[in-house]
Amino acid sequence: MATSEVQTVSAASDKLRLALAGSLVIAALVAYYFLATQGAWAQWAGLLVGLVAALAAFFSSETGRQLIAFGRDAVREVKKVVWPERKEAMQITAYVFGFVVVMALFLWLTDKTLEWVFYDLILGWKK
């Protein structure tokens, strides 16, 4: 019986890149508010430059590379999905709507029956 051991190695450089990315996000927000006197273009430019730099720092770390790999795997799996034909999708949708209507009627009837039993028969409260 083979056992596979999962090891996560987090190098100091990766931690540093993640800290840098977080710091750049904060710096972008600070720049946005400090550049308010310079006009909207300067504000948005400072914010976007800081956020792009933060994304670059994040995606250069191991965590960022894992996120990109996860996204690629997700896209690959979605491409494998066999989607139903229009007719089948319409039938399934009709079944779902029908079930919802039947359940709504059932719950409404149950509620009204219990209301009648408790308030009219047991407690004797008339509306």
Tokens encoding 118? 């408790």
* Residues 26 and 64 placed together within one structural domain of the fold: yes
Closest by CA to 59, choosing from 11, 16, 19, 21, is: 21
- C-beta of residue 32 within 8 angstroms of C-beta of residue 49: no
* Residues 39 and 52 placed together within one structural domain of the fold: yes
pLDDT band at 9 (very low <50, low <70, confident <90, very high): low
Instruction: Please state the rounded mean pLDDT for residues 35-55.
Output: 95
* Residues 52 and 92 placed together within one structural domain of the fold: no
- 3 part of a folded domain: no
pTM summary value: 0.58
- 6 part of a folded domain: no
pLDDT band at 49 (very low <50, low <70, confident <90, very high): very high
* Residues 69 and 91 placed together within one structural domain of the fold: no
Q: Which amino acid is at 32?
A: Y
* Residues 71 and 93 placed together within one structural domain of the fold: no
* Residues 17 and 77 placed together within one structural domain of the fold: yes
Tokens encoding 109? 């009837």
* Residues 108 and 95 placed together within one structural domain of the fold: yes
Q: How far is CA 48 from the centre of its chain?
A: 23
What is the tens place of the pLDDT at every residue in 75-115? Answer: 999 999 998 999 999 999 999 999 999 999 999 999 999 99
- 2 part of a folded domain: no
Give the integer Cα–Cα distance in Å for 16 and 63.
12
Q: Which domain holds residue 70?
A: 13-81
| Number of structural domains the chain divides into | 2
- 8 part of a folded domain: no
- Contact residues for 36 (Cβ-Cβ < 8 A; gap 6+): 43
pLDDT band at 12 (very low <50, low <70, confident <90, very high): confident
* Residues 64 and 101 placed together within one structural domain of the fold: no
Name the residue with tokens 């028969």.
121
60-86 burial code (b ≥16 CB/10 A, e <16): ebbbbeeeeeeeeeeeeeeeeeeeeee
* Residues 38 and 54 placed together within one structural domain of the fold: yes
